[in-house]
């Protein structure tokens, strides 16, 4: 798995909430049996016009976002389909970090990312960062006012630092397991196989109604 420690790059913004994985990588690209080749098709329906040219109305096609690698967006990013192709597409399109806000609804905290997307992202070295809605507003303002705004995302210290003139610093939370896996780029399967004896012991001690075709 790809590791993640520190990354510095240009920040782009996508002012949409509930961006679903059907938007991130549309259905026709899921027919591929490869793990690569998805990058140019990220956000395909928004990104290109019907004749295949870049859609100038789409925010991420703004020339000042050229070379961006950090995406700040709105709540519930990556909802819907479990397709890991969405994460492959973002990574192959150059994104290393996605930032989305959690929000409070009726006193409850609604996460910034959908569960399956976040799990898939971690397995591909794509860092998902949750900030508050106020902090995301600050990022949107900073990016709007400063062409090619650059930020550094530091996973060991769990901090995002925006460079001058918008010198902003945000701390973020991440669970211990995901942080370790990202920092070390560990192979999840190899990690689990360390417990193979436990798995075998469990299998031999347990009656799971194994299918017996009648």
Partner 1 sequence: MRELADGSTLLYIDRHLVHEVTSPQAFEGLRLSGRKIRRPELTFSTMDHNVPTTEDRMDIKDPVSRAQVEALSQNCEDYGVTLFKIGDRRQGIVHMIGPELGLTLPGMTIVCGDSHTSTHGAFGALAFGIGTSEVEHVLVTQTLNQRKPRTYKVEFTGTPGPRIFSKDFVLKLIGTIGTAGGTGHVFEYCGEAVSALSMEARMSICNMSIEAGARAGMIAPDETTYAYIAAENRPYAPKGDQLDRAIAYWKTLPSDDDAAYDRTLTIDTSRIAPQVTWGNNPGMVIDIDQPIPEPDSLAGYSRADVENALAYMGLAPGTFLTDVPVDVVFIGSCTNARIEDLRLVAEILKGRKKADHVQLLIVPGSQQVREQAEAEGLPEIFKAAGGEWRYAGCSMCLGMNPDQLRPQQRCASTSNRNFEGRQGKGGRTHLVSPQMAAAAAVAGKFFDIRKWPET
Instruction: Please report, as ranges, the residues that interact with partner 1 according to CB under 8 A.
Output: 15-18, 20, 22-23, 26-28, 30-35, 45, 74-76, 79-85, 87, 105, 108, 110-111, 113-116, 119-120, 123-124, 175-177, 180, 188-189, 191-193, 195-196, 198-199, 202-203, 206, 208-214
H-run or E-run covering 199: helix 196-204
To the nearest whole angstrom, how small is the minimum distance from the Cβ of residue 94 to partner 1?
20
To the nearest whole angstrom, how small is the minimum distance from the Cβ of residue 124 to partner 1?
7
SS (H, E, C) 42-105: CCHHHHECCCCCECCCCHHHCHHHCCCCEEECCCCECECCCCCHHHHHHHHCCCCEEEEECEEE
H-run or E-run covering 141: helix 133-145
The DSSP line for 4-27 is -SEEEEEEEE---SS-BHHHHS-G
Q: Which lies closer to partner 1 via its Cβ, residue 120 or residue 151?
A: 120
Q: Which lies closer to partner 1 via its Cβ, residue 37 or residue 67?
A: 37
Secondary structure (3-state) at 154: strand
To the nearest whole angstrom, how small is the minimum distance from the Cβ of residue 144 to partner 1?
14
Closest CA to 2 of 88, 118, 85, 77: 88
Q: Which lies closer to partner 1 via its Cβ, residue 62 or residue 188?
A: 188
Q: Which lies closer to partner 1 via its Cβ, residue 67 or residue 201?
A: 201
The CA dihedral of 173, 152, 41, 116, to the nearest 10 degrees, is: -10
Q: Which lies closer to partner 1 via its Cβ, residue 31 or residue 164?
A: 31
To the nearest whole angstrom, how small is the minimum distance from the Cβ of residue 163 to partner 1?
28
Q: Which lies closer to partner 1 via its Cβ, residue 6 or residue 192?
A: 192
To the nearest whole angstrom, how small is the minimum distance from the Cβ of residue 152 to partner 1?
26
To the nearest whole angstrom, how small is the minimum distance from the Cβ of residue 74 to partner 1?
8
């Amino acid at each position: 798995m790809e590791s993640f420690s520190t990354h510095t790059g240009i920040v782009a913004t996508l002012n949409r909430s509930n961006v679903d994985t059907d938007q991130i990588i549309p259905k026709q690209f899921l027919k591929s049996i490869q793990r690569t080749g998805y990058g140019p098709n990220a956000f395909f329906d928004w990104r290109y016009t019907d004749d295949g040219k870049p859609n100038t109305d789409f925010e991420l096609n703004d020339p000042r976002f050229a070379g961006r690698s950090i995406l700040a967006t709105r709540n519930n990013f990556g909802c819907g389909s479990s397709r890991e192709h969405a994460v492959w597409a973002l990574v192959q399109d150059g994104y290393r970090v996605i930032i989305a806000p959690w929000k409070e609804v009726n006193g409850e905290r609604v996460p910034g990312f959908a569960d399956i997307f976040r799990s898939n992202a971690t397995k591909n070295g794509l860092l998902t960062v949750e900030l508050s809605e106020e902090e995301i507003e600050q990022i949107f303002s900073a990016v709007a006012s400063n062409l090619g705004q650059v930020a550094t995302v530091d996973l060991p210290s769990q901090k995002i630092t925006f460079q001058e003139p918008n010198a902003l610093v945000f701390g973020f939370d991440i669970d211990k397991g995901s942080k370790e896996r990202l920092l070390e780029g560990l192979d999840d399967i190899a990690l689990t196989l360390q417990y193979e004896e436990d798995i075998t012991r469990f299998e031999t001690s347990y009656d799971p109604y194994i299918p017996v075709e009648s």
